[in-house]
Chains A and B, each alone.
Chain A
Amino acid sequence: MSDLRELYQDLIVDHNRKPRNYGVLAGANRRADGHNPLCGDRLTVYLLVENERISDVRFEGSGCAISVASASLMTQSVIGKSLAEATQIFERFHGVVTGQSTGPDAIEGLGKLAVLVGVREFPSRVKCATLAWHTLHIAMTQPGAQPVSTE
C-alpha cells in the first residue's frame, strides 16, 4: 500500500478536505475555467494581477481529491509571484508529473508541490493534477478563452 500513501499523502488529503483560497475572488481581473468532462473535474481560477504580479488568487469547483488538492496547493505556491515566476513553476510542475523532467533536482525545485509527484505512477490521474495549472496558465495568458481541458 506504500504507493497509495505516496499519492494520497496527508497533505493532499488535507488540501482536499479544506481547500485553501477557495471561493470567488471579488475584484478579480482575470479568470479562466477548466473542465475535464470525461472525469467530471471542473474548476474556475480567479486572479488579481497587478503590475504583472499575482496579488491574489482563488479557485472554486468540484472534482476528485487530486484535482482539488492540486488546485489548492497551486494557489499557495503562486500567490505573490510574478506572472513569469508562476509560469516557471507551472512548467516545472507539469514537466515532473508528466514524467518529462526526471531526477531529484527537478522534484526538489517544486517545494510543497512535490507531494503530488506520486501521480506519475497513475497515468490516468495526471490530468487531474494538471487541470488547475492549465487553467491558471490560460487565466494568465488568455483570460477570455474557452474552458481548458487536460483530457
Chain B
Amino acid sequence: MSPNAPSFDDSFGRRWRSEFPLLARTVRGYPLAYLDNGATTQKPLAVLEALDGYYRLHNANVHRGVHSLSEEATAAYEGARDTVRDFLNAAHRREIVFVRGTTEAINLVAQSYGRDRLKAGDEILITGLEHHSNIVPWQMLCAQTGAVLKVAPLDEVGAVPLEGFEALLGERTRIVAVSHVSNALGTVNPVAEMGRLAHQHGAIILVDGAQAVGHSPVDVRALDCDFYAFSGHKVFGPTGIGVLYGRGDLLEVMPPWQGGGDMIRTVSFNGSTWNELPYKFEAGTPDIAGAIGLGAALAFVERVGRTEIARYETQLLAYGAGLLDALPQVRVLGRAPQRAAILSFVLGRIHAHDLGTILDMEGIAIRAGHHCAMPVMDFYGVPATARASLAFYNTAEDLDRLAHGLGKAMEMLG
C-alpha cells in the first residue's frame, strides 16, 4: 500500500472478483491485473451460465416458430429486452433496439434519422472528446448530405465547457452527439444539460453511453435524451450485442436501417410493409444468445447495485490517482471535475507502447495507444497515452502493482 495515497477498504471489489473466472488467470507467470475495462469487461459466472444454458437447453430461432423451443427462446430474448428497458428506465420496450454495439447504433441513427432529414448547410455538433465511432458516422453523413460538422472544444483539464458548446448551437443545428463518459480521458459530460440546450435549439441529442452504463446508473428519461447507445461487452455482457434506445415517436417515423426478415409485416414483389417497433430495426435473425447474455449481465449489475458500484469506483479512482500523482514523472491527462474511473497518462519520455509491454510482462493489462480518439491525442500533442480503466472488481492491489510497474519502467527506459 502506498504511504501517499488515501487507503481505502477494497473488500467490495475483492468480494465480487470471485464471480469472474477469468480474473483468476495468470499472465506471463503473474496473476492478472486487468485494467483495460474501457476496451472490454470481464464476464461473471451468471453471464457465462446464461450463454451456455441458452445453447444447451433453449436454442431455437425467435419470433416465428410455433414449437415450444422457439417460444422459450423468444421469451428469453424478449425478456432481455424488458431488462434493458428497465435498466435504462425507458418508457416502452419498443424503444429498445438490439444492435451489434454502440458503433452500429450510431450508424443506424446517422443513416436512418439523418440521411433523409439533413440538408446542405445543416449542422451536427459533437465534442472534441469523442470516440471515432461518434465522429466518423457523422462525417460520412455530412459527406452524403452537405451538412457541416462542428466540434465543441476541450479545455486543459479535458472537459467540454458548456459556454463553448452552447456557442456552437444555432438554428441550423439538427443533431447533437456527445459521449456520456470519455473513454480516452474519463471526463463525464453534463449530457442532461447539453440535451436541454440542444432541444432549445430544435436539435435532437444522441448520447454515446458505452463507457457509462457499466459504472453508474443511467436513466434515459431523466437525461431526456433522444437516443442513447451502449455496448453489451462493456457492461459485463458478451461481445456482438448492443442497444440503441430511441424515443418512440422518433423511431416511429424513421425509415428502416436494414431490410430483410423480421423487420417486415408482409413481402410481395409489388412491395413490402414494415413491422412495428422495435422489430422494424431488427432485420434477420438477431444475436439471440448475445441479448440473453446481456440481460443476464444487466441483472447481475443490478444485483451488485449501480450506486454501490459508482461509490466504489470513486474510491478506486481516488486511490489510483493518488498513487500516480506521487510519481513525479507521471502526467495524468484528463482531470475534469466530473470524472469516471479512467486514468489516462504519460510517463516521462517513455512511449506508451513500451510501457504497455513492460506492464504486460508483469501480468498487468493496460491500453496504450490513441484509444480510438485521435483528436484527443492531437489536443494534448501526444502520439498515445497509457490508460488504466477500472471496474468494480479491481482492487487496491491492482493499482499498487500498476504504480510499481511504472517505477520499473522509469528505471529501464526513463
Contact = CB atoms under 8 A, between A and B. Distances in A.
Interface of A: 1, 3-4, 7-8, 13, 16, 38-42, 62-66, 122, 125, 128
B413 A8 contact: yes
A40 B351 contact: yes
B372 to A, nearest CB: 10
A41 B384 CA distance: 10
A1 B28 CA distance: 9
Contacts of A39: 353, 369, 383-384
Contact of B412 (A13, A38, A64): A13
Given A4-B361, A13-B413, A65 B354 contact: yes
B2 interface: no
Interface in B356-414: 357-358, 361-362, 369-370, 377, 383-384, 412-413
Contacts of B369: 38-40
Given A1-B362, A4-B361, A65-B350, 8 more contacts: A3-B28, A7-B357, A13-B413, A16-B413, A64-B351, A65-B354, A66-B353, A122-B357
A-B CB proximity, top 9 nearest: A40-B383, A64-B351, A4-B361, A64-B353, A65-B354, A40-B384, A64-B354, A39-B353, A8-B412
18 contacts: A1-B361, A1-B362, A4-B358, A4-B361, A8-B358, A8-B412, A8-B413, A13-B413, A39-B384, A40-B351, A40-B353, A40-B369, A40-B383, A64-B352, A64-B354, A65-B351, A125-B353, A128-B353
Contacts of B358: 4, 8
Interface residues of B, number: 17
Contacts of A64: 351-354
B357 A63 contact: no
A3 B351 contact: no
Nearest to B28: A3
A30 B335 CA distance: 45
A40 B370 CA distance: 8
A95 to B, nearest CB: 22
Nearest to B360: A122
B361 A125 contact: no
A1 B364 CA distance: 13
B357 A125 contact: yes
B383 A3 contact: no
Contacts of B384: 39-40
- Most central of A3, A8, A40, A128 by chain B CB within 10 Å: A40
A126 B12 CA distance: 40
Contacts of A13: 412-413
Given A39-B384, A40-B384, A3 B361 contact: yes
Nearest to A38: B369
A66 B357 CA distance: 11
A65 B384 CA distance: 13
A16 to B, nearest CB: 7
A66 B413 CA distance: 11
B26 to A, nearest CB: 14
Contact of A63 (B28, B351, B377, B413): B351
Contacts of A66: 353-354
A16 B350 CA distance: 10
Contacts of B383: 39-42, 62-63
A79 B241 CA distance: 54
Nearest to B374: A37
Nearest to A64: B351
Interface string B329-357: 00000000000000000000011111001
Among B352, B362, B383, the most chain A Cβ lie within 10 Å of the Cβ of: B383
A13 B358 CA distance: 13
A1 B353 CA distance: 17
Contacts of A62: 383
Contacts of B412: 8, 13
Contacts of B370: 38, 40
A41 B369 CA distance: 11
A47 B136 CA distance: 38
B305 to A, nearest CB: 37
B397 to A, nearest CB: 19
B358 to A, nearest CB: 6
Contacts of A3: 28, 361
B411 to A, nearest CB: 10
Nearest to A3: B361
Contacts of A63: 351, 383
A100 B413 CA distance: 29
Nearest to B30: A1
Nearest to A65: B354
B376 to A, nearest CB: 13
A1 B370 CA distance: 27
A51 B388 CA distance: 52
